[in-house]
Structure 1
Amino acid sequence: MVTPEQAGQLTPTRTSANGMAWGFIDQEGRLVVLVTNLARGESAVRLDLSGLADGTYAPTDALTGDTVAQVTASGGAAQMIVNLADYDTRVLVFPAAAVPNL
């Protein structure tokens, strides 16, 4: 049993104060991350990920199929900026190669 504060320290997805993120591994072994802008107006939300396999990845937008960014994971961690419109939510999909074998 952990406190909410302890659970927050263990999460593999963190954001800047203007955002929120939640991730899961889908049935194809890909990392799917939902990232939301909590602020009024357009925001650049910083997304910090941990527990990734080291490498360079091109996550895609699940709705459009467009590449969102090039992200390099080193030491199991990566950081990226996601530009989101007013209260917008995006679904980002990282390839299965980004997920270490558990």
Structure 2
Amino acid sequence: MSDSEFSARSHNRTVASRINCPLWCAIQHGANHGEEDWVHMSEALEVADGVPARLCMSVDPDTGAEDRPYVTIGSSEYTLDEAEELGMSLVAIARVGAASIHPSAG
């Protein structure tokens, strides 16, 4: 593949990525060449000690096949259901702790 063919193919993929870009995507597509430019990522949310959590999804530029959005926390990947369950577990443990500090009058 010549440089101009690569450039044109890459440009077409970048344009396609922008058209199908989810509303939550914060990536400036076109800055990278290759798979990194087909990945949609949200802004980072620091969850603990600077560990980022992000919503991610990739779209194959040739077939248009999408993987489902997933959540990364540090280097771990979670399905949306797994991330929701983790969040609910954190809330539950915080509530248990709060109940031990502020027992309800009864």
- Which TM-score applies when normalising by structure 2? 0.27
- In terms of fraction of residues, the more helix-rich structure is 2
- In terms of fraction of residues, the more strand-rich structure is 1
- Which TM-score applies when normalising by structure 1? 0.28
